[in-house]
Structure 1
Amino acid sequence: MSERVVNPSGRGFLLVDSHPTGCFESVARMRSEAGAARDVPADGPVALIIGATAGYGLAATVAGLARHGIRGVGLGFERPAGRRTATAGWYRAVAAGRLARELGRDFTFVNGDAFAGSTKDETLDLIAKRFGGLDYLIYSVAAPRRTDPAGVTHQSVIKPLGAAHTTRTLEFDRDGTPALREITVEPASADEAAATVKVMGGEDWALWVAALAERGLLRDGFQTVALSYIGSKLTSGIYRSGTIGAAKAHLEATAAELSELPGVRALTSVNGAAVTQASTAIPGIALYVSLLREVLGDELQSPVAQSIRLWEQLTGAAPFDLDEAGRLRLDRWELDPAVQARVAERWATGMGDVGWFRAQFRALYGFDVPGVDYARPVEVELPWPTT
């Protein structure tokens, strides 16, 4: 047994420990939000969700399990407990594995680097042996680096392209006091931009689809979706017009290329803004989401709510909501001109709903979750879920 009291510690938007019970409760709340399944068959569709332990990938996993009876595999890349607790994603995988068992779903988790050939082999072997094929592949990967099949490691950067960009950003002191400051980010070099596309673009997504096709694992009607983001003009200088935006453009071009393959329908899904471990690393995004929440209140759509809509469209329960570029749009609520105008009014002077944002950020690590007694010791060494 390795029970101990776990307290949040770290700096900025990075905490070094995670709270197991808080992570479990967060997944339970997502499952409650997802609601009940309707006429789900015992042999539901088989899905592979890459990035299933955090953010939108986790939301898609929970929504798929709860509402559509998916079977299959969730892939994450998490660290077990040692000197520190396990990562939050490790505990979320444990919770999602328990949820799958409670719901009677044949769904298991693999822990490994999605970019590695060995992880692809292990995952595809599991799919072949256990399910015989795949109906859906959801690709939701946000990573700082990638080692490609040739053994070259590429490092992604969050920088503008062409010229320096100055923006306002939201931060919190150690005692939780919010503060705004102005930062200037220098532009990326050509090599940095290319490396970011290598990490965050569509190359690895295409490798997964090619490996599945080579193994004969694509079932009739196979669909694959890579999760993406466009966002506001207020953040475009560092996001959509920056290195990450270039990677997202490559992701969208990859979708068109994959759709030309026999038996493949590939889409990018443009999701709305959310507080995730990936998004908090982007300058200006914390302030923007805080302001968006202040404007929308409870009308701000959660990742689970958006994932429900994603699954409804993939399964044919609802028609696809595509834009002129063929992208599936789950973000229309965010980019409504009236909403953006109200956020823009507050951008120069406001801080938004900082209490909500701070609680959301800390909940990513299992803290500030209602109903959890943080004074109680908790077991931190938990085994990776297996079924």
Structure 2
Amino acid sequence: MTARHIEPRGRGFLLFDSHPAGCGQLVTAMRDQVTPAIPETPTGRPVVLVIGSSAGYGLAATIAAIRRYGADGVGVCFERPATERRTATAGWYRTIATADVAARSGSRWTFINGDAFADDTKKETLDVIAERFGGIDYLIYSIAAPRRTDPLTGLTHQSVIQPIGEGYVTKTLDFSGETPALKQIWVEPATEAEQADTVKVMGGEDWALWVDALIGRDLLKPCFTTLALSYIGSHLTAPIYRQGTIGAAKIHLEETAHTLYDKLIPLRGRAMTAVAGAAVTQASTAIPGIALYTSLLRGFLSEDMQSPLRQMTEMWDRLTGVQDLGLESGRRMRLDWWELHALVQEQVTKRWNAVTADNVRDHADIGWFTAELHRLYGFDVPGVDYTAPCEPDLPWPTPTE
């Protein structure tokens, strides 16, 4: 494939192409933000399995593990290679760059491109773990997917983002025009079937299947820990999120942590969730009101808003004992303290109530939010020459030694 000039063309907040150099530079910048702090441990480097390693919190968890604690491991993600008409997905290029970070850090990593919900992907992943590492110390589960095929029934379930019980009116950002605009929308309530399908996709069922598969292959190292990423959010977004279909799935995820914890006790293991803070991700952008809320949050906090990488670095410091684990109700780690602080929520609520179509840019940092959306695809990344042609057809990374 010939090198070409790649531009951020798209529809709304979805772009058609990704920029290889921009995605690579983004990962490099993330690497440079993490200070190595490898502790002296009798077992050496930790071995980590990250499900959802190419984007969002999963990507941040992977880079923080490699850079801060020299972790070895396996990353699983589902990405599309380049075609004649389109570049590869951004996660494809980010994974290439992450493999380079691992190689430069002297860490051994294998990245598997496949549907994490599928039995074949689980088998391939466990085969790699058995052959390369003999077992794992940590499993980090960070999946946000629109659909899932149940491996037992063969049925495909579709997730929805809707309130439960009654409809919901909210302010939101509309990305259909040249610039984001404020509007008000009505969201229909989910049916019982839609709620159940969302729990099947986004709940804890697949997480438990991964743990069961690892137990079945005897691939858990002593003191094994598994953690799934969750979110609670503000009272401003609760009707569409925590009290909606996605929230029902997150509750199921947190309930699964209790079930897994009991199962892992005899194996000297533990299970928990980590509640992270608001961030700009492709998954969160599609939720009504979340883009506005996140922009208002940034408008108030500015540089004090914590990135996923900073939160995942804190997560690893807690998991490894550098900081106190600090679990809530025994099973839940809170990384969202900076977002849900009473003063922060008071100020963001004032902005939410005051914002109109005319003054939205006075209260919300829309410029930052839009740039973050572009950075998801490798655009608007400092230090990248976007006038230079780029080769989009890059190979999936080979395992690092």
Q: Give the aligned partner of residue 51 of structure 1.
A: 52
**SS of alignment partner, residue 136 of structure 1:** strand
User: What's the CA shift for 1:374?
Assistant: 1.0
Offset of residue 10 of structure 1? 1.3
Equivalent of 2:392, from 333, 355, 380? 380
TM-score (norm 2): 0.94
Deviation of residue 318 (structure 1)? 1.1
Give the count of matched residue pairs: 386
**Aligned residue number for residue 163 of structure 1:** 166
**How far apart are the structure 1 equivalents of 2:277 and 2:166?**
27
The match for 1:281 among 263, 283, 286 is 286
Tell me, which stretches of 5 or more residues in structure 1 are unaligned?
Answer: none
Is the Cα–Cα contact under 8 Å of residues 38 and 70 in structure 2 kept in the other structure? no
Mapping for residues 77-226 of structure 1, pairs under 5 Å: 77-82=78-83, 83-149=85-151, 150-175=153-178, 177-226=179-228
Offset at residue 39 of structure 1 (A): 4.9
Q: Does 1:272 align with 2:277?
A: yes
In 1, the alpha carbon distance for the partners of 2:193 and 2:185 equals: 23
The answer (yes or no) to whether the contact 1:40–1:68 under 8 Å persists in 2 is: no
CA distance, structure 2, for counterparts of residue 89 and residue 335 of structure 1:
30
Give the secondary-structure state (helix, strand or coil) at the position aligned to 1:3.
coil
Q: What letter matches 1:316 in structure 2?
A: G
| Equivalent position of 1:27 in the other structure | 27
- One-letter identity of the residue aligned with 2:22: G
Q: Contact 2:271–2:331 at 8 Å: present in 1 too?
A: no
Q: Distance in 2 between matches of 1:327 and 1:64?
A: 20
Report the counterpart of residue 248 of structure 1 in structure 2: 250
Deviations 1:152-203 (A, max 9, x none): 100000000000001111133553x231010110000000000000000000
Q: What is the rounded CA distance, in whole Å, between the counterparts of 2:183 and 2:40 in structure 1?
A: 50
CA distance in 1, matches of 2:349, 2:35: 34
Whether the aligned pair in 2 keeps the contact of 1:43 and 1:71 (CA below 8 Å) is: no
Aligned to 1:259: 261
Secondary structure of 1:85's partner? coil
Question: Match of 1:6?
Answer: 6
Q: Displacement of 1:35 after TM fit?
A: 2.1
CA deviation vs aligned residue, 1:122-153 (integer Å, no higher than 9, x gap) = 00000001000010000000000000112110
Name the counterpart of 1:291.
296
Give me the TM-score of the superposition, normalised by structure 1: 0.98
CA-based RMSD: 1.3
SS in structure 1 of the partner of residue 183 of structure 2 = strand
Q: CA deviation at 1:268?
A: 0.6
User: Equivalents in 1 of 2:28, 2:323: separation in Å?
Assistant: 26
1:316 corresponds to? 321
Give the Cα separation in 2 of the matches to 1:107 and 1:43: 15
Superposition pairs of residues 307-386 of structure 1, within 5 angstroms: 307-324=312-329, 326-350=331-355, 351=360, 352-386=364-398
Q: Give the letter for the 1:148 counterpart.
A: D
Q: Distance in 1 between matches of 2:174 and 2:61?
A: 29
- With 347-356 and 23-32 compared, the bigger mean Cα shift is at 347-356
Contact in 1 for aligned 2:257/2:331 (Cα 8 Å): no
Identity %: 60
Match for 1:10: what amino acid? G
Q: Judging changes above 3 Å, is the alpha-carbon distance between structure 1 residues 334 and 63 closer, same or farther for their aligned structure 2 residues? A: same
Secondary structure of 1:244's counterpart equals helix
How many angstroms does 1:37 deviate by? 3.5
Alignment partners' CA distance in 2, 1:359 and 1:321: 34
